[in-house]
Amino acid sequence: MRKLFYPVLLSAIIFFSTASVQAEMLKIAIFDTQRILAESKVVKKYRQKLMETTDAKRKLFADKQEAMRQTAEKLRTEGGKMTFYERKNLEEKLALEDKELRRLREDLDYEIQKMDKDLTQQALLDIEKIIREIVRKEDFTVIFERSSAGIVHFKESVDLTPRIISLYDKQ
């Protein structure tokens, strides 16, 4: 039994020391996509452009909403004094304004979602290009995305997020 113990011990020491040497040769890093999308100046400019693009439609929506509110207020305050047909016409006008307002809101929401989706897709493609360039230049073995990899803790030294943001903003 003793004759077998020392060779097994020696083999285990060699095996584990070889594995630790191989593990040290791995070059691993992480990045946080959500942080990049939140902090990048480029993404902030895109979002600002999105808001400017939809400002006219939002103003139109607010104007129509105010007109509808005024119609409803008129119906509430003066409805008892109106003839049946006047009240009926005003109610129909209010229903039509409400329908138009809902349709306008849906169109505006759809447009904002579509533009935001396109923006996010473009940003992710740009981020992927930057990461590939970093991998090519610095020979990383593995790069994880923080949220999808389920990483709970890491040293800041392996976080590429600030570098990616910096490179992305320089584009």
Q: Which residues pair with 142 in a beta bridge?
A: 28
> What pLDDT, in 10s, does the model give residues 30-60?
899 999 999 999 999 989 988 898 888 899 9
Cβ neighbours of residue 81 closer than 8 Å, sequence gap 6 or more: none
Cα separation, 66 vs 109, in Å, equals 19
* Sign, CA torsion 46/47/48/51: positive
What is the model's pLDDT at position 154? 67
What is the model's pLDDT at position 16? 54
Assign 75 a pLDDT band (cuts: 50, 70, 90).
confident
For range 141-152, the mean pLDDT = 78
Summary mean pLDDT of the chain: 83
- Distance from the first to the final alpha carbon of the chain: 67
| Backbone phi and psi for residue 53, each to the nearest 5 degrees, phi listed first | -65, -40
Q: Are 168 and 40 in contact (CB under 8 A)?
A: yes
Asked whether residue 12 carries a pLDDT value surpassing 70, the answer given is no
Backbone torsion region of residue 139, taken as left when φ is above 0, otherwise alpha when ψ lies between -120 and 50, otherwise beta: left
CA distance readout (Å), 138 to 56, 131, 133, 143, 170: 47, 10, 8, 12, 19
CA distance readout (Å), 29 to 100, 140, 145: 52, 7, 9
Asked whether residue 148 carries a pLDDT value surpassing 80, the answer given is no
Positions of E strands within 38-153: 142-145
The size of the chain, in residues, is: 171
More confident residue, 69 or 79: 69
